[in-house]
Structure 1
């Protein structure tokens, strides 16, 4: 019986999605493979992509707390809020993909199609900010998955979280690659005027064709630059994240990205060398061989040269920027471009002295 099971086949890429496959997560006892017994009904479109789209499913997440804390020396903040698990932007390089394995799901297509919305995020945040033990420090919004991914248009969780931050004078720094952030300018601009808000826009490439397959449901590069311009025009401090830089794929664009962002009004910048922890390594290599097969071996070779012979090294201090000649050249290019363009180092310096929890229903009013 078992010898009659067909061999594993490769799924054609799905239009509008980043991952090519849906490989089993690392914690599962069984491994799923895709086979064709002649009844799958796969039909390819003119570009070789599946004509039937994989639908996005949004489920409620049963969150019991909302502020996540970290002690990593590689990031400048120590607390964050993520309104969503999974991300429909479908960026193939997303370092958050392996977190879906904790849910018994695949870091591949599951990560970008099976989303979880923390619909009680604003209420949880208000409760945690009122705790007597809470010490005000800048809060990162979207440190893991994007708070302005497409589902935010209907869910509105990020906006409700921002309303809580505004009411408490809680300083917040937003990280996104979506122009949807402009929807909340009515909250962000007044907060920024009081030193309580900043935004970091990720611009990975200026090449729309590359962006379409590498981060298919994120805002186009021109729309992100327009968002930088609009935020800066409204008085919101904006940084550009030229991340991730991928050797032999988009790293040649580093100077052009920084120049375009500075021209749009960004005042600070940072970059990260591509990170490939856990399942991302296999997913990214698969993506390379499907979408840019002529450059796949070159990209992987340069990644190993920048990671001491491996595709990834997770040690603090070098995991963001890598090591070796290629990584050092990237560092020098970034430093010189920032100096030439007047771009400062991305900062999380926001005003924590204004933090004041508003009266809760039933509280006695202050006599002051």
Structure 2
């Protein structure tokens, strides 16, 4: 295949490393979901209901900045070619390439599982991050509203949480977010990897436009909802030159902080990204891939805690130095207090109100 597949990040099906036999997506079961971003090739996306026994997951990685995550969906139609979550699709029996974008597993019982957890006497309140793996506001959320129902549960229990997304659909839930923010119960993290719409369309084909993501930052800020921007990932020779203008722009719109993370291509992602790069940027692919490898000890794959998100070497250091310069120049990052837990504890045990 010489021409890129329109509306998809991955350009091919990748064999699942863990299974001799794999799921096959049949045309008669494929559905269509309208999205704000690019229309996928022939609009073929399959949605499968699954019924997990748990919804909130303990995060054991020491360098991701979260203790608990919850993902209403597995797989993500946004199609970001660099997405680390692609590898997790293999554990469900699918591939990390086109399968990850075309076969979405839907947890319709997520709100009930969340409510069951929060009512347990043994549960101690810790901020729960919606979208620690795949985006909770991907296109199908517009129809199913599972994320909205989960936020309603969190709102009922006055439990702290955070959101990570690159979809302006979260503004649909502004009413709940405003009430939670007034009690210091929520923070929002919006991923913006580039200010170029052309780059966005190639790199993240079915995500919200850059214009709408910037609008979301502005609206959240004006409604006193703490919003951070994640420039994640930063890709050498593709988006690294945008650090200064991007930080400047989002600071003007009210973002309280910007986090920069170097691209890393673990597991099957290296093969997927390499295939995409040569088809999409044939004149720059070699340079992009070489600079990514140079930032991770000579390999596209980097799983080392502490260095995997920052990288190492001259190129990675230049990227991190530029990010620090941009933050110093354009941001006055306030010292952040932990999200509030007392409201939840009082609801759970009314006797605490006596103290």
Question: TM over 0.5, yes or no?
Answer: yes
**Post-superposition offset of 1:66:** 0.6
**Post-superposition offset of 1:344:** 2.3
1:197 aligns with 186
| Alignment partner of 1:242 is 2:225 | no
1:90 aligns with 79
1:228 aligns with 217
Counterpart CA distance in 1 for 2:309 and 2:264 is 7
SS of corresponding position for 1:206: coil
| Alignment partner of 1:19 is 2:10 | yes
Task: Tell me which structure has the larger Cα radius of gyration.
Answer: 1
Match of 1:74 among 33, 43, 63: 63
Correspondences of 1:14-163 after superposition (within 5 Å) = 14-29=5-20, 53-163=42-152
Residues 216-274 of structure 1 deviation map (CA, whole Å, 9 limit, x = unaligned): 11001111000000001111000010110001011111111111111111011101100
Residues 150-174 of structure 1 deviation map (CA, whole Å, 9 limit, x = unaligned): 1000010000000011111110110
Structure 1: 5+ residue stretches without partners:
1-9, 33-49
Counterpart CA distance in 2 for 1:95 and 1:157 is 23
CA RMSD, aligned part only? 2.4
Number of aligned residue pairs: 339
> CA 1:78 to 1:229, structure 2 compared with 1: closer, same or farther past 3 Å?
same
Residues 169-203 of structure 1 deviation map (CA, whole Å, 9 limit, x = unaligned): 11011000000010000000110011001101100
1:298 aligns with 287
**Post-superposition offset of 1:77:** 1.3
SS of corresponding position for 1:199: strand
Counterpart CA distance in 2 for 1:93 and 1:192 is 31
2:319 aligns with 330
**Post-superposition offset of 1:284:** 0.1
1:41 aligns with none
1:6 aligns with none
Counterpart CA distance in 2 for 1:366 and 1:100 is 43
**Post-superposition offset of 1:14:** 2.2
> CA 1:365 to 1:154, structure 2 compared with 1: closer, same or farther past 3 Å?
farther
| Alignment partner of 1:256 is 2:245 | yes
Equivalent pair of 1:167/1:358 in contact (CA under 8 Å):
no
> CA 1:343 to 1:100, structure 2 compared with 1: closer, same or farther past 3 Å?
farther
TM-score normalised according to structure 1 size: 0.87
> CA 1:138 to 1:309, structure 2 compared with 1: closer, same or farther past 3 Å?
same
**Post-superposition offset of 1:349:** 2.2
2:199 aligns with 210
1:43 aligns with none
Counterpart CA distance in 2 for 1:88 and 1:304 is 27
| Alignment partner of 1:178 is 2:167 | yes
TM-score normalised according to structure 2 size: 0.90
Counterpart CA distance in 2 for 1:271 and 1:348 is 21
Counterpart CA distance in 1 for 2:316 and 2:109 is 42
> CA 1:92 to 1:179, structure 2 compared with 1: closer, same or farther past 3 Å?
same
**Post-superposition offset of 1:61:** 1.4
Counterpart CA distance in 2 for 1:244 and 1:13 is 22
Equivalent pair of 1:92/1:283 in contact (CA under 8 Å):
yes
Equivalent pair of 2:346/2:352 in contact (CA under 8 Å):
no
More helix by share: 2
> CA 1:94 to 1:154, structure 2 compared with 1: closer, same or farther past 3 Å?
same
1:283 aligns with 272
SS of corresponding position for 2:343: coil
